[in-house]
Amino acid sequence: MPDLLKKLEREVQNCQKCSLGKARTQAVFGEGDPKAEIVFIGEGPGQKEDETGKPFVGAAGKLLDEMIQAIDLTREKVYIANVVKCRPPGNRDPLPDEIKACWPYLEKQLQTIKPKLIVLLGRHSLEEFLPGQKISQMRGKALRKNFPGLGRQVFFVVYHPAAALYQQSLKETLLNDFKKIPKILAEIEKGKENWDNGTEVANGAVANFKNKPDDKLNRSKKTIKQNKLF
């Protein structure tokens, strides 16, 4: 429902629900195909994004574009968004209160787009969806989780492109992880019946994520049990 996204975008452009609203040049709502199968979620806008109003258009964005192209997709065919919509001054990490204030926008975006796969870019995005997990342990892994507001959702975790910019080894890891994305999508397709029956996807390639559906709200740090992962 693209109209819903447009309406939400207008709301975000005028939002002052947290102090980041005062400091921004413009909010960065997110962009891409409103019916995208894949949504990439970063942390928050940087300087370039704040200036242009578009997500991932700086150096990290160029690398993200390269990665997306490496799996025969384009920016226009996916959707790209961030956890917070306004740039934290000096590119500091967004504060918990700011993330909380901004959360309903991302939630509505995801509820509208209904992607098959959510790709979490980096540890901040990871923390919001799979709290207490380490990026170094989770990267390259796909898993399914019952998430508040989204229902049963498949997530895939990769390093943030900014982290890989100046480190060749991380860049290779990032590229290798990206190359798993088409396979994960195919698994989600293949396992459709199984998903609906609430059983494990054929050949167990996508894991069932056994934790409480409300763990984001509790910020539970307990170890999450995983089945077979990519």
CB of 45 to ligand URA, least distance (A): 5
Separation between Cα atoms, residue 35 and residue 153, nearest integer Å = 16
68: contact with ligand SF4 by CB under 6 A: no
Separation between Cα atoms, residue 230 and residue 205, nearest integer Å = 6
CB of 15 to ligand SF4, least distance (A): 3
43: contact with ligand URA by CB under 6 A: yes
Q: Closest Cα partner for 40 from 81, 77, 72? A: 81
Which CB, 82 or 133, lies closer to ligand SF4?
Answer: 82
Binders in 23-62 for ligand SF4, by CB under 6 A? 27
Strands 38-42 and 117-121: parallel
**What is the total count of residues that contact ligand URA (CB under 6 A)?**
13
44: contact with ligand URA by CB under 6 A: yes
> If 0-12 CB within 10 Å is exposed, 13-18 middle and 19+ buried, where does residue 92 land?
exposed
81: contact with ligand SF4 by CB under 6 A: no
Tokens of 120: 């979490």
Among 38, 81, 101, 126, binds ligand SF4 (CB under 6 A): 101
Say if residues 227 and 200 touch (Cβ distance below 8 Å): yes
Which CB, 8 or 229, lies closer to ligand SF4?
Answer: 8
Among 16, 74, 167, 218, binds ligand SF4 (CB under 6 A): 16
Separation between Cα atoms, residue 69 and residue 90, nearest integer Å = 30
Q: Closest Cα partner for 76 from 19, 35, 126? A: 35
Of these partners, ligand URA, ligand SF4, none, which one is at the site of residue 101 (CB under 5 to 8 Å by kind)?
Answer: ligand SF4
Among 17, 77, 116, 152, binds ligand SF4 (CB under 6 A): 17
Q: Closest Cα partner for 106 from 164, 27, 173? A: 27
Q: Which residues bind ligand SF4 (CB under 6 A)?
A: 12, 15-18, 20-21, 27, 84-86, 98, 101-102
